[in-house]
Structure 1
C-alpha cells in the first residue's frame, strides 16, 4: 500500500463521527405543580331564600305531633356568582344538598328544639345552566311537636314558631384552564332565620280533627 493509500485510524474515527446520526435527548425539566385553587370564601354561595312556606302533614292520632314540610324545589343558595368563581378560576358544576336542621321555638318559654330532615338533591353535569349551580331543598322534618293553641291575633302568639333553618351542602367546582376533570370539592352550610308573615295559620287542639299549621315566612340570612 502506498503512502497515498494509507488511511490513518484517526481519519477513520473522524469520518465515523460524521456518519453516525446524533439523537439529542433533553432531560425532562421537573414540571412545577400548579396550585389547586382554594374553596371560595364566606361570601360564596349567595343566599337566595326570601320566602318559604312550612306546612304540616297529617297529625298522628291523639297526639300533638306531625311532620313539618318545606315545598320541594325551594331555592336556598346560588353558586354561579363572581364570589364563587375564585377570581375566574372556578365554576360550579354540581351541588348536592345534604341534611337540613330546623329549630323551633316555644313562644311562652323560649325553649328551642332542633329537628333534622333529609332534603332533596340539586345536581347537574355542567354549570352552563344556572339551575345546576343552585342549591334547592324539599325537606320534611318528622314528628315536630305542636302544643295546643291558636293564632288568634298578630303573628307572635302561636305556641311554637320556626326560629332558624340550616342546610348543609357540597359543591363541586371545575378548575378552569386546567386539565379537564380537575375539580375542587367544598362542603359548607347556609343558615336562615324567619319572620312570620300575614296568612300564617295555627290551629291545634288534640283530639280535634283536622289540626292545621302553616307558616308563611320570609327568610333572613344568619351570620
Structure 2
C-alpha cells in the first residue's frame, strides 16, 4: 500500500531537492558569463607611432592616438627602450596627461594619468637629436580589462646620423 501511495503522489521531495541542487551551478554559470564578457572594454584601433621630429625644433619620440570612438584609459603604458646611446634623454609630453618614469638610462615608462579622448593624440618627445645614431622602440600596453582590436601597439625610431626613419 505504501508503494501505491508513492506512485500516485507524483514527484517526491527528494527528487525535487536533487534537481534543485543540480540546477544551482547551471544558473550561476549562466548569470556569470554575461558579466565576464561585459568586463572587457574594446578601445578600438588606437595607434602608437615613432616620429623623427624636426631637426632643431621637435625631438624624436612617439605619438599615441586614441581610436576614433573610444578614449584610451588612464593606466595605458608606453614602454620605450633605446640603443646606440648611453642615455635616451628627457621626454616631454604634449596633448595629454602622463607621468614619465625613468627605468634606466636607456628605458622609460610613460603612463597615462587621465584618459586620452577619442581621436586625440599624445606626443612623447625626447631631447635626443636625430643627428646622433640611435634606435628607440616603443610598446603600448592597455590596462587590465581593456583590449584594442585593430590597434597598432608598437613603433620605432631609427637615426643613422644622416637619415631618420620611423614606424
TM-score (norm 2): 0.42
Higher relative helix content = 2
Higher relative contact order, chain-length normalized (CA < 8 Å, sep 6+): 2
